[in-house]
Amino acid sequence: MQLGSQQETIRAVNRTIRDFADDPRIPPNEPWEFFCECGCFTLVTLTVAEFDTASHVWVEGHEASLLSA
């Protein structure tokens, strides 16, 4: 499996979750589960504000393993 395209798929899924969370009836501090972008599919709990602030969604330490790959 090609890692780059898998990351793109995960980012697209995360954006879909983000769009779904963008509902005025949902409190802004509601935690949502996004997927780690390294491709491991571990769930990362973030609020919408945290997701918007973060440029990437990673489990702690997974970014390093991706960069060294």
Interface with Zn ion (CB under 5 A) = 36, 38, 40, 59, 62
d(CA 45, CA 32): 5
Q: What is the largest CA-CA distance in the chain?
A: 42
Report the residue number, 48 or 62, with the smaller CB distance to Zn ion: 62
Please report how close the Cβ of residue 51 comes to Zn ion at its closest, in angstroms.
Answer: 16
Report the residue number, 3 or 40, with the smaller CB distance to Zn ion: 40
Report the residue number, 44 or 48, with the smaller CB distance to Zn ion: 44
Helix (H, G, I), strand (E, B) or coil at 28: coil
